[in-house]
Amino acid sequence: MATLITMPRLSDTMEEGTVASWLKSVGDTVGEGDILAEIETDKATMEFESFHEGTLLHIGIAEGETANVDALLAIIGEKGEDISMHLNPSSPQASSDTTTEENTQQTQEVEPSSQAAAIPEGVEVITMPRLSDTMEEGTVATWLKKEGDSIQEGDILAEIETDKATMEFESFYTGTLLKIGIQEGETALVDALLAIVGP
């Protein structure tokens, strides 16, 4: 059965990503953990690994192209499998509309609390990232930094367990870890408050 892989949200502020390079071609065999592509976010270029095994049947975003989070990135399935139903423009559009509505609702819910909090200049709110295309929640396996620690851009903040694997989550900011919002062993939804970094 074919699996649709969408553009992942690799940073808490990421709204779109650019495929810098594909490390696999259509027809290649893909193993779980294989690096599929390098994706440029608004912060850095990161490797994106496959959480599925099979054959790369379709590439939805060519090298150098930019697409929104949740756009169709690739399709993995069995060799020779018919994927025409997934490439029908009407189906992705329908799911895209649904995703847009959900994102809009989330944004509307998040904005008032952000405004009410009146976040000071230089303070960055880090939310639980979507580290796989199917991830809806994550568990903090380990914090590698504690409140009060100095952080550099690129430092590993925590190890996060997704529905597929445990992955390192790095900071895209430099400053001090002011608050930890999700303790070790706790599970939270994507976009929940993970940490606050400030001057």
Tell me: the pLDDT tens digits for 104-133?
Answer: 444 444 444 444 445 667 788 888 888 777
Q: Is 146 found in the same domain as 71?
A: no
**Per-residue confidence (pLDDT) for residue 66, from 0 to 100:** 92
Q: Which residue has the tokens 């590698």?
A: 144
d(CA 167, CA 75): 22
Three-state SS for 188?
Answer: strand
| Residue 137 in this model has a pLDDT that exceeds 70 | yes
d(CA 157, CA 146): 9
Confidence of residue 168 (pLDDT cuts 50, 70, 90): confident
Q: What is the CATH number of the domain that holds 140?
A: 2.40.50.100
Amino acid at 47: E
Domain span including residue 76: 3-87
Does residue 103 sit within a domain? no
Q: Is 128 found in the same domain as 53?
A: no
Mean pLDDT across the stretch 29-35?
A: 89
**Per-residue confidence (pLDDT) for residue 107, from 0 to 100:** 41
**Per-residue confidence (pLDDT) for residue 186, from 0 to 100:** 92
Q: Is 81 found in the same domain as 34?
A: yes
Confidence of residue 89 (pLDDT cuts 50, 70, 90): low
d(CA 52, CA 68): 22
Return the bridge partners of 58, or none. Answer: 75
Number of domains into which the chain is organized: 2
Contacts of 100 (CB under 8 A, 6+ apart): none
Does residue 27 sit within a domain? yes
Query: Which of 87, 103, 130 marks a domain boundary?
Result: 87
d(CA 59, CA 6): 11
Does residue 107 sit within a domain? no
Does residue 138 sit within a domain? yes
**Per-residue confidence (pLDDT) for residue 9, from 0 to 100:** 81
Query: Which of 47, 65, 87 marks a domain boundary?
Result: 87
Question: Is pLDDT larger for residue 106 or for residue 27?
Answer: 27
Q: Is 75 found in the same domain as 12?
A: yes
d(CA 199, CA 196): 10
Confidence of residue 23 (pLDDT cuts 50, 70, 90): very high
